[in-house]
Amino acid sequence: MAHIEVAKERCKACELCTTACPFGLLRLSDDYNSAGDHYIVQDNPEKCIGCKLCAIQCPDTVIEVYK
């Protein structure tokens, strides 16, 4: 089992991490954080393998990976 945690208040909605996930699990939320930005949410979390690629891609290290 693996999962990610997104520090949504620090997410800047650049979407770079969405290009890194081999399963396309990441997308922007419909709602906003307090800065007025969309933030990253994960669809089908059971498919996450904890490969870390999204977290390494994120320049602001918004994503934590647990495995």
Partner 1 sequence: MEQKIYGLPEGMNDKKTSFCPGCSHMAAYRTIVESLNELNERDNAVIVRPIGCSLNADYSFDIHAIQSMHGRASAVATGVARMHPEKTVLAYQGDGDAHSIGIAECLYAANRGEKMTCIVINNSVYGMTGGQMSGTTLLGQRTTTGIREFDNQGAPIHVAEMIAQLEAPGYVARAALYTPKDIMQAKKFMVKALRCQKELGKYSYIELLSFCPTNWGVKPVDCIKYAQENVLPVYPVGELKTCF
Q: In the complex, what is the shortest distance from the CB of residue 1 to ligand SF4, in angstroms, rounded to a whole number?
A: 11
Report how far residue 66's alpha carbon sits from residue 45's, in angstroms, rounded to the nearest whole number.
Answer: 12
Q: In the complex, what is the shortest distance from the CB of residue 12 to partner 1, in angstroms, rounded to a whole number?
A: 4
Backbone CA torsion sign across 32, 9, 49, 53? positive
Report how far residue 34's alpha carbon sits from residue 23's, in angstroms, rounded to the nearest whole number.
Answer: 29
Nearer to ligand SF4, 12 or 31 (CB): 12
Binding site residues, partner 1, CB under 8 A? 1-3, 7, 9-10, 12-16, 18-20, 35, 37, 50, 52-53, 55-57, 59-61, 63-67
